[in-house]
């Protein structure tokens, strides 16, 4: 017989009162853990997307619909390629890189791919007017680079399409394959492929990004225009803007410059996700509040009732020789066990809920966050012990003579 086995035996005797006294804490922890899991993963997803989205502003045809940032250029509509020139010559501060794209569905050796025409950096160098305009563009603040195109000596490989969303040079008859395409077609560097009636040599393949880019084939913009007989158009223009300008003046300035286009920013594309996150963030504080108030109050009430109905038992223990400190510990230990059990069960429940519901609520896969779960269990235990403190102290101060009273 120990203090702990005394508590355990009492708990085992009344399983339903155990459940009813700690159900609020259990559900509170479950809700909190579920919401925090989804929120954290959703936030990670947003920041992952933000960092992987090289361009933070997209210029699209006016009526383009927009469900997916990566696929935004595949909606069949086009806009004139000369917008690229207009943007560069306008010398807007904050524009760091401009890259037009024209995407076409195509077949490559029986495989459905998206053929995306891009303009290699070498094309920009060739345009003297663009270089001059860039030179006279004012810099607004430190950290912003001027619109700078042209071969960079750091990123000379096709892989730079993934890292900086640009490529230094791409001949008119060369293609770069996305990871999926490369894998499924089994073409590799140096092979010859045929698309839209043109012959291309594979310059290289890209590593996997987990985006729609994996199923693209990149070719020279002008080649794609020629083969598809579209004229000098593109389906989207990506602009890498300086962070602050992209968020501020750049979008209205671009809208003024190109009134017949639709200008969207990454944050707009991610707005639903950000909105979900904000809602979840707010909700989790609300749930935490409920957990503390309702969970704590219901446990405190149940504990007070428990102390009341065990008055004679407490008196008897004191008559036998238990100190008030022992009685205090008896009830605090009970609260501790309730808190740990309710916290753990609630945590598991929340985890399961998050894993099942996460993909539906926020479109993210959920991995258990152990530190968060541990914090939730510790918090539940803390709340339970704190809530039980006053009833427990009341028990410790009970008159031991109640051992003589009839029930």
Residues that bind other proteins (CB under 8 A): 1-3, 5-6, 9-10, 12-13, 312-313, 315-326, 399-401, 403-404, 406-407
The partner residues of 58 in beta bridges, in order of sequence, read 238, 264
Task: In whole angstroms, give the CA distance from residue 115 to residue 102.
Answer: 8
**Of the two residues 186 and 407, which places its CB atom closer to other proteins in the complex?**
407
Nearer to other proteins, 13 or 142 (CB): 13
Chain-centre distance of CA 40, in angstroms?
7
261 DSSP β-pair partners: 61
- Shortest separation between residue 302's beta carbon and other proteins, angstroms: 17
Instruction: Report the residue number, 236 or 317, with the smaller CB distance to other proteins.
Output: 317
Using an 8 Å Cβ cutoff, are 62 and 259 in contact?
Answer: no
Complex with other proteins: residue 150 or 400, whichever CB lies closer: 400
CA 139 to chain centre: 32
Give the tokens for residue 223: 């080649």
Tell the smallest beta-carbon distance from residue 365 to other proteins (Å): 46
- Roughly what angle, to the nearest 10 degrees, separates helices 324-361 and 3-13? 60
Measured distance CA(250)–CA(195) in Å, rounded:
37
- The alpha carbon of 401 is separated from its chain's Cα centroid by a whole number of angstroms, namely 62
Listed residue (216, 169, 167, 210) closest to 195, CA to CA: 216
Distance CA 308, CA 292 (A): 23
Nearer to other proteins, 13 or 63 (CB): 13
Residue 381: CB minimum distance to other proteins, A = 23
Question: In the bound complex, what is the minimum distance in angstroms from residue 318's beta carbon to other proteins?
Answer: 7
Nearer to other proteins, 328 or 347 (CB): 328
Give the separation between CA 92 and CA 125, rounded to whole angstroms: 18
Residue 64 vs 335, nearer CB to other proteins? 335
DSSP type of residue 199: E
- Angle of the 324-361 helix axis to the 370-396 helix axis, nearest 10: 150
- Greatest alpha-carbon span in the chain: 104
Closest approach, Cβ 6 to other proteins, in A, equals 7
Tokens 């639903």 belong to 272
Least distance in angstroms from the C-beta of 18 to other proteins: 12
According to DSSP, residue 295 is labeled I
Task: Give the shortest CB-339-to-other proteins separation in angstroms.
Answer: 21
Residue 336 CB, shortest distance to other proteins, in Å, is 18
């Amino acid at each position: 017989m120990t203090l702990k086995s005394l508590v355990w035996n009492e708990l085992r005797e009344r399983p339903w009162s155990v459940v009813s006294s700690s159900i609020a804490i259990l559900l509170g922890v479950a809700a909190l853990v579920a919401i925090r899991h989804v929120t954290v993963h959703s936030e990670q997803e947003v920041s992952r997307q933000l960092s992987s989205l090289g361009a933070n502003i997209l210029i699209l045809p006016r009526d383009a619909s927009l469900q997916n940032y990566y696929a935004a250029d595949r909606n069949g509509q086009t806009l004139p390629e000369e917008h690229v020139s207009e943007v560069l010559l306008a010398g807007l501060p904050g524009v760091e890189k401009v890259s037009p794209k024209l995407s076409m569905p195509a077949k490559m050796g029986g495989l459905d791919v998206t053929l995306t025409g891009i303009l290699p950096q070498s094309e920009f160098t060739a345009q003297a007017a663009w270089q001059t305009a860039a030179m006279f563009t004012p810099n607004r603040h430190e950290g912003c680079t001027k619109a700078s195109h042209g071969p960079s000596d750091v990123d000379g490989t096709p892989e730079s399409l993934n890292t900086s969303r640009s490529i230094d040079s791409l001949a008119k008859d060369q293609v770069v394959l996305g990871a999926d395409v490369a894998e499924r077609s089994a073409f590799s560097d140096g092979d010859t492929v045929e698309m839209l009636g043109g012959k291309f040599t594979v310059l290289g393949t890209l590593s996997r990004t987990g985006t729609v880019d994996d199923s693209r084939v990149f070719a020279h913009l002008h080649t794609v225009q020629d083969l598809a007989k579209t004229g000098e158009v593109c389906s989207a223009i990506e602009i890498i803007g300086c962070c602050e300008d992209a968020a501020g003046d750049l979008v209205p300035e671009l809208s003024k410059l190109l009134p017949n286009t639709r200008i969207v920013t990454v944050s707009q594309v991610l707005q639903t996700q950000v909105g979900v996150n904000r809602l979840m963030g707010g909700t989790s504080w609300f749930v935490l509040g409920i957990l503390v108030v309702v969970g704590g109050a219901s446990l405190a009430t149940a504990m007070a009732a428990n102390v009341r109905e065990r008055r004679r038992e407490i008196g008897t223990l004191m008559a036998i020789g238990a100190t008030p400190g022992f009685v205090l510990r008896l009830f605090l230990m009970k609260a501790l066990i309730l808190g740990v059990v309710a916290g753990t069960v609630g945590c598991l429940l929340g985890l399961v809920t998050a894993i099942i519901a996460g993909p539906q609520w926020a479109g993210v896969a959920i991995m258990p966050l152990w530190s968060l779960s541990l914090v939730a269990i510790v918090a539940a235990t803390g709340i339970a012990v704190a809530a039980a403190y006053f009833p427990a102290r009341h028990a410790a101060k009970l008159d031991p003579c109640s051992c003589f009273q009839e029930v």
